[in-house]
Amino acid sequence: MDTRALRAFIRLGRFPFLLSGFVPFTAGALFAFLLGARFTPGEFLLGYAAMAAAHLSVHYSNDYFDADADRFVETTAISGGSGVLAAHPELKPAALGAAVALMAASLLIGWAFVTIYDYPPVFLVFGLAGNLLGWFYTAPPFALAYHNLGEVANMITFGLLMPGAGYFVAMGGLDAAFFTFAVPLSLYGLVFIVSVEMPDREGDIAGGKRTLVVRRGRIFGFALIAVAAALATAAFTLFALMGAFAPVDFRPVAVISCIPLGIALWGFSNRCAERAGALRYATANIFGYFLFWGLVVVCFAREAVGSLLGP
């Protein structure tokens, strides 16, 4: 593999998008810490490494199995894949090999994690579920994104698996507190995937991908994003008013959730069925999604530092 091909192969991995998994994982771990869990940096890093390998595998496998469909879409900052295999079809075998190797690495790292730190083997379910969901998101015979299930897969991934793995690493298991916390997080997973689908509608139709935006249109997509963001804000507000997760203070999280809600409502009020206009608001939704997660991590981290330092 020459230097240019190597650069293309690295670009195929879309490494910056690993942030979409790392931040929820970190938030889950910090949430558990605030509820009384204790964990070491080594546990955190090795636990995340297992999930990161699975996440990176998805990038390679999705581009491989989406190669034919992606011929019809224009790559954007938030959608359309990396576009690498269209320009470098000779890299397809390497992409498939990388996806398989990373899946194996994910499971091996997960096994090392539960062995070294004496965690329940059920942690391996996170790695296995993440790998299977990622692989069959586009791979036959299930090809979830092509059979009306892509949105559900993303809600599970970013609402349950990634923050749940972080929570598990810290707490040693899952409980009712986490599953309650996961409800609004799953709604944000829906906001994320529907926004990503917006620019690709015409290409996905040509490529045979049955996304929600393909089936129902962009106007419906903007409405669904607004509803999901509103329900997430309502849930966080309820957590704050009820003091449901004391001593964790959810008032700042409820306020932060108004950012993606405001962006979602802006997009809905200017809802556009045309690609060029929709791309602007879809990109804004993705920005709001990442800003929400980043600020929640900062908020939880400040609370964690405060609990360590004491009054």
Rounded to two decimals, what is the model's pTM? 0.94
What pLDDT shows up at residue 117?
A: 95
The dihedral sign for the CA sequence 79, 125, 116, 38:
positive
What pLDDT shows up at residue 70?
A: 83
Contact 54, 130 (CB under 8 A): yes
Which one has a higher pLDDT value, 187 or 77? Answer: 187
Average pLDDT over residues 187-209: 94
Contact 58, 139 (CB under 8 A): no
Residues 163-176: tens digit of each pLDDT = 999 999 999 999 99
What pLDDT shows up at residue 141?
A: 93
For tokens 């994104």, the residue is 145
Residues 10-55: tens digit of each pLDDT = 999 999 889 999 999 999 999 999 999 988 999 999 999 999 999 9
Residue 309 has pLDDT above 80, yes or no: no
Mean pLDDT of all residues in the chain?
A: 93
What pLDDT shows up at residue 1?
A: 60
Structure tokens at 138: 């586009």
Residues 277-303: tens digit of each pLDDT = 999 999 999 999 999 999 999 999 999
Residue 113 has pLDDT above 90, yes or no: yes
What pLDDT shows up at residue 10?
A: 92
Task: Produce one character per residue of 232-271: b if its CB has 16 or more CB atoms within 10 Å, e if not.
Answer: bbebbbebbeeeebeebbbebbbebbbbbbebbbbbbeeb
Average pLDDT over residues 144-154: 94
* ∠ Cα 79 70 135 (to 5°): 80
H-helix or E-strand spanning residue 151:
helix 150-156
310 band by pLDDT with thresholds 50, 70 and 90: low
Average pLDDT over residues 200-206: 93
Average pLDDT over residues 252-274: 96
State the Cα–Cα distance between residues 294 and 233, nearest whole angstrom: 16
What pLDDT shows up at residue 311?
A: 58
**Closest alpha carbon to 196 in 56, 75, 61:** 75
Length of the chain equals 311
Residue 203 has pLDDT above 70, yes or no: yes
